[in-house]
Structure 1
Amino acid sequence: MFFLTLLAFAVGCQAKANANTPQMGWNSWNTFKLNFNESILEKTADLLVSTGLRDAGFNYLIIDDGWQAATRAEDGRQQVNATKLPNGIAPIAKYAHERGLKIGIYSDAGIYTCGFQPGSWGYEELDAATYAQWGIDYLKYDNCGSFQAGTQSPPERFSKMRDALVASGRDIFYSLCEWGHQFPWYWADQIGQSYRMSGDITAIFSDTGKDCACKTAYCLNTGYAGCSVLTIIRKMREIAPFSKPGSFADMDMLEIGNGNMTLHQQRTHMSFWAALKSPLIIGADISKLSKESLSVLKNKNIIQISQDSLGKAALFVPELSVEKVKQVWAGDLSGGRTVVLLLNELNSTQNFELLVKALPALNSRETWKVEDVWSKEVIKVKGNYTVAVETHETKVLVFSRN
């Protein structure tokens, strides 16, 4: 029955917004959870501009769970929490738009949201019309309340909001957040522009054995919360081939600036989210970002990889990788270039012997110009290439013809 449902949706309409490259922005959840207010949102909008993050591409200000009142109005419309947002959503949308930003909001494909606020199940058309009236540009649509609507599959529930957004008359980006439940990489391209492929990220770099019990893409419904950066990267080995322009696998928000990650770990985090074409959504309090974290987020060359016009995710190269020791990924970029990622998982420096002939699209008999994106070093390579990679560092190498 589930796959018959998928077939029915495969011939249906897609959400109107286009996404040739992954979305970029900021989301309130990882830092503030339910505890934000109008002042925090306006301050963050101003910081996106003053720090240069907006000009680097981070142009969505996304209000996550907690903006709603506890109950709907008598006419069924969602109400705004008057304590947190006394002037409502529309003025915040205007504030963001006046600063060259777009505005995002949150709801759930169930009776309740994750914070037990009213979800949108059964109210899709009314909610989409309300969001359009407020000037919303982006909807993050969660799955926590699905236990109240469990008789309907995720493709059915999420497509109802897709249709409602199209009918609203406003171009609203649609970000599915159902944690990889029932394998959205097989069907989400017919519904939204991005889809979460795993449980919630945590500000921990290395998998400890205790982070999300679901450590592969296909372990069904166990252990969705608290996934480390490395666990999510490993999951993408199975999922990255499905990612494509208009349907990007979402590895969850960036934890850069949160927790105690080293500079190498933060760079690895940013490198993989960019090269695997995950949305780049900042989850930190921008007012508390260190210069180091801000420089990682604003790295122009890494962002160019994320926003490359081909929109193709890098893929895992198992022949050159060793489990829990090192990973090699490679992917096509525009202009006939290739990006290669070398990740050292060990707690000591190791040398990578890069067999150029084993990499897609590279000819070992040619001489290649190789740019190290983080160090900005440029060298010429023909044949094999050996490079030292430090603890938890990822070398991001862009190969182009000499």
Structure 2
Amino acid sequence: MWQLTLVLCAGMALAVVNPKTPQMGWSSWNAFQYDVNQSLVENTATAFNDRGFSKAGYNYILIDAGWQSLTRAADGYQQADPAKFPDGIAALADTVHKMGLKLGIYSDAGIYDCGFYPGSFGYEEMDAAQFASWGIDYLKYDNCGGFAGNTQAPAERFLAMDYALQKTERDILYALCEWGHQFPWFWADQISDSYRMSGDIHASFAGDDASVCTTAYCLNTGYAGVSVLTMIRKMRELSGFQKPGSWADMDMMEIGNDVMTEVEEQTHFSFWAALKSPLIIGANVATMNQSSVDILTNADMIAISQDELGTAVSYIPDLSVEDQIQVWGGPLSSGKQRFTVLALNYGNATTDISIPIASVPGLSSVTNKKYTVKEVWSNKAVSPNSTIKLTGVEVGQTKVLVFSEE
């Protein structure tokens, strides 16, 4: 049995951007898949500014798969599909930058990508240099179409692109998308800014595809079809790996794609924010309903996501009941915020949830001082009793408590 070992020189910073908080942006894939084009990107950037997303902190516009021609140019370089991007990617990047935003692009660590467009395997330095020359700020790097490339472990293939990005001397956020294969939380922090920890999400709050594994540590991680609840379930085992500089990515959000109730969308956003996943919108921001916009731009939840401590909430089994209630908690350090608790009802009926403060690890150090408690989604104060009682929690709903010093 062979074993891959990554040998890193002392002082070598492999991540290109090394974000101190999870990145925030938009990707074309969930809503549009391969139907991406110049007008869509420009309209999305305009909507970012017009609908308050950029003000809320979202700044990356990511062109996902489908932007390329099916073959490389005669000189070997990647080329944009001229019918989809008539002005080219460099001109589009310039437009996006003038709007105060950043542009991302997609490639693959295989010979082909998932749609059989050219991958970057064997062309890493050439592609990285081209992306940099275009003014690209973010690279999503997928793991489809490996074929002969799969004779090398994912870590080797993803490391090759990391080195190539460094050589460009441009700050390009490097986001790995290898679906949790070979447990990237053990190695991807050394070579990337974020890494996917599971197979692809799909537009469902609770229903998985048949092949999906519900835990993080299984060989069949499932390429696609992971529900919101299962993505959260997998993070029970992984939240402790979250740290500034390289974030476990729970995939693009399905908020705004009209597949969930309002409280389910709130739950979706609550856990992506509190678990420190990158916040990447996967819907049409120009046409989504205002309720979804309000959820995605909620200042209190974004403050939890972008908290300077960078610590994800942890699952609290002693306060949880499998298939009924989940309680999570974790520290905060920005401003006066010191702690957050999430209480999710994922059972079959509306219920009450009681949270004894003494049973939440780490919370007693906060409550020994004068403090206030607010529930984020109702924007209402909660009495700071020794046991906090949350009444009438709907199915699929999460109550988010923020404990702050007075």
TM range (shorter): over 0.9
Aligned to 1:350: 351
SS at match of 1:381: coil
1:332 match: 331
1:131 CA drift (Å): 0.4
TM-score by length of 1: 0.96
- Residues 160-175 of structure 1: pairs in structure 2 closer than 5 A: 160-175=160-175
Distance 1:57 1:365 in 2: 33
> How far apart, CA to CA, are the structure 2 residues paired with 1:286 and 1:211?
30
One-letter amino acid of the structure 2 residue matched with residue 395 of structure 1: K
Match of 2:397 among 355, 378, 393: 393
TM-score normalised according to structure 2 size? 0.95
AA aligned opposite 2:111? I
Shift of 1:400: 2.4
Structure 2 match to 1:133: 133
**Are the counterparts in 1 of residues 203 and 227 from structure 2 also a CA contact under 8 Å?**
yes
The Cα of 1:144 is off from its aligned counterpart by 0.5
The equivalent of 1:77 in structure 2 is 77
Q: Distance in 2 between matches of 1:49 and 1:200?
A: 28
CA distance, structure 2, for counterparts of residue 67 and residue 236 of structure 1: 32
Q: CA deviation at 1:277?
A: 0.4
Q: Structure 2 matches for 1:34-183, cutoff 5 A?
A: 34-183=34-183
Contact 1:365/1:382 (8 A) holds in 2: no
1:1-400 matches, within 5 Å, as 3-6=3-6, 8-9=7-8, 13-207=13-207, 210=209, 212-334=211-333, 335=336, 337-363=338-364, 368-388=371-391, 389-400=393-404
Contact 1:25–1:60 (Cα < 8 Å) also in 2: yes
Alpha-carbon separation, structure 2, partners of 1:146 and 1:165: 20
Identity %: 55
- Over 3 Å counting, the alpha-carbon distance change for 1:304 and 1:375 in structure 2 is same
Q: Deviations over 1:290-309 (max 9, x none)?
A: 01111111111111111111
State the Cα distance separating 1:16 from its structure 2 match: 2.2
User: What are the Cα deviations for residues 168-215 of structure 1, in whole angstroms up to 9, with x where unaligned?
Assistant: 11110000000001000000110101000011111110135x455211
2:181–2:221 Cα contact (<8 Å) kept: no
Please state whether the residue corresponding to 1:54 is helix, strand or coil. helix
Taking only aligned residues, the RMSD between alpha carbons, in angstroms, comes to 1.6
- Structure 1 residues 69 and 157: CA distance shift in structure 2, 3 A: same
1:221 shift after superposition: 3.0
Counterpart-to-counterpart distance in 2, 1:223 and 1:322: 26
For 1:259-282, what per-residue CA distance to the aligned partner results, in whole angstroms no more than 9, with x for missing partners? 420000000000000000001111
User: In the alignment, residue 358 of structure 1 is paired with which amino acid?
Assistant: S
Change (3 A) 1:347 1:367: farther
Q: Say whether the 8 Å CA contact 1:5–1:155 is kept in structure 2.
A: no
Unaligned runs of 5+ in 1: none
- Distance in 1 (CA, whole Å) between partners of 2:170 and 2:2 is 31
Aligned residues of 2:198 and 2:231 also touching (Cα < 8 A)? yes
The alpha carbon displacement at 1:359 in A equals: 1.0
User: How far has the Cα of 1:362 moved from its partner?
Assistant: 1.8
Contact kept? 1:365, 1:383, Cα under 8 Å: no
Deviations 1:311-368 (A, max 9, x none): 1111111111111111001011005611100000023211111011111222266664
Cα deviation, residue 230, structure 1 = 0.3
SS at match of 1:97: helix
1:16-66: per-residue Cα shift (whole Å, max 9, x none)?
212000000110111111112111111111111111111111110100011
Q: What one-letter code is carried by the residue in structure 2 that aligns with 1:278? A: S
Q: Is the 8 A contact 1:26 1:283 kept in 2?
A: yes
- For the 8 Å contact 1:212–1:227, the answer to whether it is kept is no
Tell me if the contact between 1:96 and 1:102 (Cα under 8 Å) persists in the aligned partners: yes
Q: How far did 1:224 drift?
A: 2.2
Q: Is the contact made by 2:200 and 2:225 (CA closer than 8 Å) also made in structure 1? A: yes
Structure 1 pair 211–49 and aligned structure 2 pair: CA distance change class (3 A): farther
Cα separation, 2, equivalents of 1:256 and 1:277: 17
Gaps of 5+ in 2: none
- Where 1:42 maps in the other structure, the secondary structure is helix
Q: Which moved more, 1:123-132 or 1:220-229?
A: 220-229
Moved over 6 A (4+): none
Please report how far the alpha carbon of residue 223 of structure 1 lies from its aligned counterpart in structure 2 after TM superposition.
2.4
